[in-house]
């Protein structure tokens, strides 16, 4: 039985960001993907110049109404990422709620893009919308440490803090939380980054249990655009295939990320030449070239269970 995803994300003509970072890998893994472009730009904003259009909340509503009128609005997943507009975000929430009424088993995967490294890079008025409206209807969220702290009002300085923050996020709604990156000290050395995940399960008798994992991933000295979109899409895919095994889902997801990033950085350095820092065009994700790794990633990052 086919699995259908509604992806509401940004779109670029050149490169892999938003819907292009999500759609290809999901399709490779057998998902049917319907894409709504929240923005349509010539390229991502890490370039010196970009041109394009931004979809308004009313325009999003018109597109969704068209899907509804044809009675093709049955989805198994909704996937969303970066947006800068509160009314657009509120319209997304309305759509998710309506789709959940039609299919109570629908899973909403949300990357709550607010900022990083202590500062917001979206307007401040998006924060209460994410906290009070978006996160409560989400089933899977992928914040970084800054976003997790912002949404819960609690700082993370230890693994115990991170577990408490993930529990607070669970209490807000989502059953699966993955903190994609943190400032926690890695056990494998300072060339690694610590990520953590938590998933609530309901046992057959109705009682609840929580699986928590820690994963350390190698750092890369480069700035990539579109990796957060790819991560959320891969977590969607691998939690679908391993719905009660967060450890395996995270290992698959982070291993895909590793392979795509390593292939991208190798190619970028080759293009840039010795001693030169790669440019944004050279650092566009090598997605098509990573098709085999997306389909069946060799596991290079192992998750450990934590209490």
Check if 139 is active-site: no
- Predicted confidence at residue 206, as pLDDT, reads 84
CA dihedral (88, 136, 150, 244) positive or negative: negative
Average pLDDT, integer, range 243-251: 97
Band of pLDDT at residue 111, cut at 50, 70 and 90: very high
Q: How far apart are CA 133 and CA 89, in angstroms?
A: 9
CA dist list (Å): 236 to 78, 129, 221, 239 = 9, 23, 27, 5
Q: How would residue 221 be classed by pLDDT, with cut points 50, 70 and 90?
A: confident
Are the C-beta atoms of 216 and 188 separated by less than 8 Å?
Answer: yes
Give the pLDDT score at 307: 81
Percent residues over pLDDT 90 in the chain: 93
Q: Which tens digit of pLDDT belongs to each residue from 9-22?
A: 999 999 999 999 99
- At residue 173, the 3 state secondary structure works out as coil
Give the Cα separation of 200 and 239 in Å (integer). 13
Q: Is the pLDDT of residue 43 over 80?
A: yes
User: For residue 34, what pLDDT band results from cuts at 50, 70 and 90?
Assistant: very high
Give the pLDDT confidence score for residue 204 in this predicted structure: 85
pTM for the whole thing?
A: 0.96
H or E element that contains 41:
strand 31-41
The more confident residue out of 213 and 207 is 213
Q: How confident is the model at residue 202 (pLDDT cuts 50, 70, 90)?
A: confident
| Structure confidence at residue 283 (pLDDT) | 96
- Within 10 angstroms of residue 171's Cβ, the number of other Cβ atoms is 9
Active-site position among 229, 245, 293, 296: 229
Lookup result for tokens 């409560």: 136
Token pair 């198994």 in the structure block, residue = 76
Look at residue 203 in the predicted model and tell me its pLDDT.
Answer: 84
Q: Give the chain's domains with CATH numbers.
A: 4-305 (3.40.1190.20)
Whole-angstrom distance, CA of residue 263 vs CA of residue 298: 14
| Tens-place pLDDT, residues 112-140 | 999 998 999 899 999 999 999 999 999 99
């Amino acid at each position: 039985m086919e699995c259908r995803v509604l992806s509401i994300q940004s779109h670029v003509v050149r490169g892999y960001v938003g819907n292009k970072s999500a759609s290809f890998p999901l399709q490779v893994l057998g998902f049917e993907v319907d894409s709504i472009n929240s923005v349509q730009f010539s390229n991502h904003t890490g370039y010196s110049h970009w041109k394009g259009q931004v979809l308004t909340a009313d325009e999003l509503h018109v597109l969704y109404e068209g899907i509804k009128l044809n009675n093709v609005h049955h989805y198994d997943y909704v996937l969303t990422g970066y947006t800068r507009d509160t009314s657009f975000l509120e319209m997304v929430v309305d759509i998710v709620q309506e789709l959940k009424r039609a299919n109570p088993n629908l899973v909403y995967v949300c990357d709550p893009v607010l900022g990083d490294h202590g500062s917001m890079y979206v307007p401040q008025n998006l924060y209460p919308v994410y906290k009070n409206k978006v996160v409560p209807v989400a089933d899977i969220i992928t914040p970084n440490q800054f976003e997790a702290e912002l949404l819960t009002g609690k700082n993370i300085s230890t693994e115990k803090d991170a577990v408490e923050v993930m529990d607070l996020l669970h209490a807000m709604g989502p059953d699966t939380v993955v903190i994609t990156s943190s400032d926690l000290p890695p056990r494998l050395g300072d060339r690694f980054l610590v990520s953590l995940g938590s998933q609530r399960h309901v046992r057959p008798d109705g009682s609840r249990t929580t699986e928590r994992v820690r994963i350390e991933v190698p750092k890369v000295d480069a700035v990539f655009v579109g990796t957060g979109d790819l991560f959320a899409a891969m977590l969607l895919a691998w939690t679908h295939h391993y719905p009660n095994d967060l450890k395996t889902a995270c290992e698959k997801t982070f291993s895909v990320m590793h392979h795509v990033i390593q292939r991208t950085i190798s190619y970028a350095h080759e293009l840039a030449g010795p001693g030169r820092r790669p440019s944004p065009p050279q650092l566009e994700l090598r997605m098509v070239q990573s098709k085999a790794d997306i389909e069946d990633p060799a596991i290079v990052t192992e998750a450990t269970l934590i209490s």
